[in-house]
Amino acid sequence: MLVDGVFAISMTLLVLDVRVPEDVPDTAAAFDEALGPLLGRLGVFIAAFVITSRFWLVSHRQMAALRAVDYGVAQRTILFLAGITSLPVATGVLFRFGDVPAAITFAALVLAVTGALSARLWWYLSSPRRPLTDIDDDTRRETMIRSILVVAVYLLAVPGAYLVPPNAVPLVPLVWLVLAAVDPLAHRLHLLLRRRRRTVPADERG
């Protein structure tokens, strides 16, 4: 399947920059000196691998819900996969320029755009106007709220990269750990909005 193949290649490419540079001498002292940067690269790789895995899980759930595929689904899937193939590029930028605010901004925008493309695909395929899935309205809305929150979390790194002290810039991507709280937060927001819709008279909903 094309989707799984693209994810497999992208996730493999993530690890290519996690290595000791060739110009480091084969000595214990040189290894000790290179260990810090190597662990930093390993941390970036792990974060990128987890984020890409999350995108794959979301895509897998979307594809599993499909009963049929039309041109709109195919088109939106290809655009989403274009975002996935760009993730190793964003990771490579963080590997080399992780202490530069512009580099973190670039990576955050790549992640946010990829998340938005995933949300666009979901909103299309889950539409009740199309006989593509059997998704109920509650699930459709809650998943969309979750997708919007994910995009917002990625974008948090943009102002953060410019607001923190220069020596703290490499730590800014840690804000993406907030993704762990997105699912329960999306569920709470969905319940809140659903209660609000039910209390608003029908003639005021437009």
Note whether 62 and 127 are within 8 A (CB). Answer: no
pLDDT tens for 148-167 read: 999 999 999 999 999 999 99
How open is the CA angle 91-50-52, to the nearest 5 degrees?
Answer: 60
pLDDT tens for 184-194 read: 999 899 888 88
Rg (CA), the chain: 20
Q: Is the pLDDT of residue 135 over 70?
A: yes
CB atoms inside a 10 Å sphere around CB 127: 14
Looking at residue 115, its pLDDT comes to 96
Q: Is the pLDDT of residue 131 over 60?
A: yes
Looking at residue 204, its pLDDT comes to 54
Maximum mean pLDDT: which of 63-67, 118-122, 127-131, 172-176? 118-122
Q: Is the pLDDT of residue 78 over 90?
A: yes
Q: How far apart are the C-alpha atoms of 84 and 81, rounded to whole Å?
A: 5
Domain parsing of the chain, residue ranges: 2-204
Rounded to the nearest integer, the mean pLDDT of the chain is: 88
Looking at residue 188, its pLDDT comes to 92
Per-residue confidence at 25, pLDDT binned at 50, 70, 90? low
Per-residue confidence at 82, pLDDT binned at 50, 70, 90? very high
**CA nearest neighbour of 48 among 5, 84, 99, 4:** 84
Show the 3-state SS of 55-116: HHHHHHHHHHHCCCCCHHHHHHHHHHHHHHHHHHHHHHHHHHHCCCHHHHHHHHHHHHHHHH
Please report, rounded to a whole number, the percentage of residues in the chain having pLDDT higher than 90.
51
